[in-house]
Amino acid sequence: MPGFIAGKKRCASAPFCFSDSFDQSTAKGSTSLSSKISDDANGPILPGLPDDVAKVCLALLPRSDIPLMGAVCKKWRSFLRSQEFFITRKQAGMLEEWIYLLVTDEEGKKSHWEVLDCLGDKQRRPPPMPCPAKAGFGVVALDGKLYVVGGYSMLNGTKAASTEVYQYDTCLNSWRKLANLNVARYDFACAEVNGMIYAVGGYRVEGESLSSAEVYSPETNKWTTIESLRRPRRGSFGFGFEKKLYVMGGRSSFTIGNSRSVDIYNAERKEWCEMKNGCVMVTTHAVIGKKLFCVEWKNQRKLAMFYSEDRSWSKEPIPLTGSSNVEFRFGILGGKLLLFSHKKAPWYATLVYDPAAAPGSEWRTCKIKPSGECLLSVTIQA
């Protein structure tokens, strides 16, 4: 379960949050630029250029400069947060991979997001979400944006499940609230499949296990209920293969201990089917290509790999090189698997597993490292 993510105190004087690098000089540049560009809804994006050419020009900006451009005018900001902007950057070969890490502070009592680039250099600390601290939430990356779904907060000593959903725009460095879930839930399976976000199972407010499931459309900003699981399921995780949703791990109310069954949802047929050979008590997972990587709680020094083509499994020992730690959190960078040490220690190094490397040379270490205890990692292209 992710640790608590700190909420944000509301401040009327700060309706929009910029990155740490947004200083007075950049603010003056933005003011000067915005004075030359009309915010007329019918006016051009860039004077003297057709809008399609102007959009390509904006898409060619370095990612670190985009928050500044979003402050120029509403028209620019609207385009920069759109799916069209993401697609244009992708077509231009401008997408950059940045790693978003949820880490604890020095006391280990609070958590915050931090951002690292592909070299491991810290870019910024995103502003906290505009809500109370929460845990047990789902996290999904889609079209350059981070989605935080559901979870629970502690209110007056009582655990309260949430229906709230927030989106963090990684380019504009700002949060906004989206449509609520239909059912408040925490510790549930959450994944993106074919451009849609799924929330399946989990716990409700009273702590009862859920079998209900729903799907979110970013285009309509709406959650829609889909067919429920055959049994309640909580503490599981979700991932997508070949336009299908897989729900694995966790517990079912109708099994003794943890379940090895895998629920698979076919969105075209709108129905669930079942597979028997899943993993149990998974502490971290990641998908690269057509392969799922995960670690089971009972065997923290083994990397389990699931192959979608034939639904088979293999396991490989995790080397002691760089870290004798027995618990990791996965990240992805450049098609390689990163193993961040869950515990913070100066002598621990981040392990890298390259699935495309020659046999015997898959493992190495790298300098990319969280500043504190790593709770989860999400790699986002934008």
pLDDT in tens, 85-110: 999 999 999 999 999 999 988 776 78
CA 18 to chain centre: 20
Return the higher-pLDDT residue of 45 and 119. 45
- Of 31, 242, 16, the closest CA to residue 130 belongs to 16
What backbone phi and psi angles, to 5 degrees, belong to 25?
A: -65, -40
**Token reading at 30:** 């933005």
pLDDT at 115 over 90: yes
Amino acid code (one letter) for 35? S
> 235: buried, middle or exposed (CB in 10 Å: 19+, 13-18, 0-12)?
buried
Report the chain's C-alpha Rg in angstroms: 21
The confidence score (pLDDT) of residue 255 equals 57
pTM: 0.88
The answer to whether 218 touches 195, Cβ cutoff 8 Å, is yes
Say what the pLDDT of residue 144 is: 94
Higher pLDDT, 308 or 27: 308
Helix (H, G, I), strand (E, B) or coil at 83: helix
What is the rounded distance in angstroms from the CA atom of residue 111 to the CA atom of residue 371? 11
Q: Which fold has domain 129-279?
A: Neuraminidase (2.120.10)
User: Residue 123: is its pLDDT beyond 90?
Assistant: no
Q: How far apart are the first and last CA of the chain?
A: 27
Q: Where are the domains of the chain?
A: 27-91, 129-279
